[in-house]
Amino acid sequence: MSVPQPHLLLVGSYAAAEQPGIHAFWLDPASGALAHADAFAGVASPSFLAISPAGTTVLAASETSAGDGSPGGVAALRLRREPLALTPLGQQRSGGDWPCHICISADGCWALVSNYGSGTVGVLPILSDGSLGPLRDLAHHEGRSVNDERQAGPHTHAAIFDQSGRFVIVADLGLDQLVIYRFEHGAGQLTSHGLALARRGAGPRHMAFHPGGRLLYVANELDSTVSVYDYDPAEGRLDERQAVTTLPKGAPDNQVADIHLDAAGRRLYVSNRGHNSLAVFSIDAYGQLTLSTIAPSGGGWPRSFALTPDGRFALVANQLSGDLVVLPLGAGAEAVGAPVARASVPSAACVIIAG
């Protein structure tokens, strides 16, 4: 019987460029044990990571701003698994301040970067050697919503492709909107197509498509809810049909962060920062959500998490407690168990499975 190969995990963080900001670990897929592999410096505040479909290029959002003397950027790094190495391939400007999310197209040719501080979405080409070309297009949002502290202007928080690659959906926390663009793959151009209004004050942050491509689940940061949208891939249209809370009654102040579905599309997970938990929902045959449980995240301020491909573990990057935690996943009331492994990562912000 062949022995399962360990998963390579990469964890981004808020670190100065001269400090190790990207940390690598090996995860035992059977036990959930973690083994530290290496740490890499050279990128300022690499708070969000994305890996190319081929698994050979890692993109890191450098979450900085012009006001601090360094406009936001995206760094490209070549990944080698054996022996492990991350080789810098250069950096390009992201087209705004505080880039916080990157999405790579299915063909590995384009990267979308969401600039939270500026309310913009940049399109960068990924070249044949894995490096990035300069910005090919930049979409600007305008307006505000009802929360004077958090929604005084646009704040793009994530941009993702639909399954066809014809449309891009942008979650704008500041506008309470999901903005829809047509995407021209040959030129790397975004063309305004439409929008879906979120509830006022919801603050859409991150999104996840159901495997069927006709349902979109949106994590709303400001009101701690998840919204379910019907998606028409032919027309590029979204219609909200359900919204559910991620918190128990009497919960403290909270900000929803990350969202992921299991591979089968039967369970949805959302991280709560403040309540410091994972909310777990079952998904019925029609895509409707029912809360299954809300379990501790194993640390403080779970900003990001990932699910192993076999669905056995959730890997949680807890920012304020500064750690990466491995939580076993089960069924029913035991949907999330107590931590089976923990590793220190100062100001952990993002975790991805890189292989």
Identify the CATH number of the domain in which residue 80 sits. Answer: 2.130.10.10
| Residue 103 lies inside a defined structural domain of this protein | yes
| Residue 30 lies inside a defined structural domain of this protein | yes
332: three-class secondary structure by DSSP: helix
| Residue 305 lies inside a defined structural domain of this protein | yes
315: three-class secondary structure by DSSP: strand
- 50/67 Cα distance (integer angstroms): 25
Contact 280, 262 (CB under 8 A): no
Give residue 1's pLDDT. Answer: 54
> What's the domain range around 133?
7-353
Total residue length of the chain: 355
67: three-class secondary structure by DSSP: helix
Contact 229, 238 (CB under 8 A): yes
Sheet of strand 267-273, all strands in order from the earlier edge strand to the far edge: 255-261, 267-273, 277-283, 289-296
Contact 184, 191 (CB under 8 A): yes
| Residue 231 lies inside a defined structural domain of this protein | yes
Per-residue DSSP letter, 66? G
| Residue 239 lies inside a defined structural domain of this protein | yes
Contact 304, 257 (CB under 8 A): yes
| Residue 106 lies inside a defined structural domain of this protein | yes
pTM for this model (two decimals) = 0.97
| Residue 1 lies inside a defined structural domain of this protein | no
| Token pair recorded at residue 22 | 């990207």
Total domains, the chain: 1
72: three-class secondary structure by DSSP: coil
What's the Rg (C-alpha) of the chain?
Answer: 19
How does pLDDT run across 156-191, given as a tens digit for each residue? 999 999 999 999 999 999 999 999 999 999 999 999
| Token pair recorded at residue 129 | 């050697």
| Residue 2 lies inside a defined structural domain of this protein | no
Give residue 333's pLDDT. Answer: 67
Residues of the chain with pLDDT under 50: none
- 92/123 Cα distance (integer angstroms): 11
